[in-house]
Amino acid sequence: MSAEEYRFRLFVAGDEPNSCLAEQNLRALCLTHLPNRHSIEVIDVLQEFEVALLAQIMVAPAVVMVAPRLVTLFGALTDQAKVLAALGLKGVDHQA
Partner 1 sequence: MASKEWIIKPEDRPDDVTARLERAENILRTLERGEADAVLSRDGPRLVHSVEAVERERQIKLALEELVNTRALELIAARESRDVAEAATLAKSDFLSSMSHELRTPLNAILGFAQLLESGPTPLTPTQKHDIDQILGAGWYLLGLVNEILDLAQIDAGKIVLSWESVSLADVMLDCQCLVEPLAQRRGIAMRFPRFDIPYFVKGDRIRVKQTLINLLHNAIKYNKPEGSVSVECALATPDTIRIGVRDAGAGLTAEQLAQLFQPFNRLGRNAGTDEGTGIGLVVAKRLVELMGGTIGADSTVGVGSTFWIELGLTTAPPSIVREAAHAVPVQPPQLDGTPRNTVLYVEDNAANLDLVEELIKRRPDLSLLTATDGNLGIELARTCLPVVILMDINLPGMNGLQAMKALRADPTTERIPVIAVSAFAMPVDIKRALELGFFSYLTKPIKLNEFMAALDVAIKFSETKSPSVATKP
Among 27, 40, 75, 80, contact with partner 1 (rule: CB under 8 A):
75
What phi and psi, each to the nearest 5 degrees, are found at residue 12? -120, 160
CA distance 60 to 69: 21
Q: Give the residue with the Cβ less far from partner 1, 27 or 37.
A: 27
CB-based contact 19:61 (threshold 8 Å): yes
- Per CB under 8 A, contacts with partner 1 among 5-24 are 12-14, 16-19
CB-based contact 26:8 (threshold 8 Å): yes
CB-based contact 7:38 (threshold 8 Å): yes
Q: Give the residue with the Cβ less far from partner 1, 18 or 80.
A: 18
- Per CB under 8 A, contacts with partner 1 among 20-59 are 45-46, 49, 52-53, 56-59
Which residues here bind partner 1, judged by CB under 8 A?
12-14, 16-19, 45-46, 49, 52-53, 56-61, 70, 72-76, 78
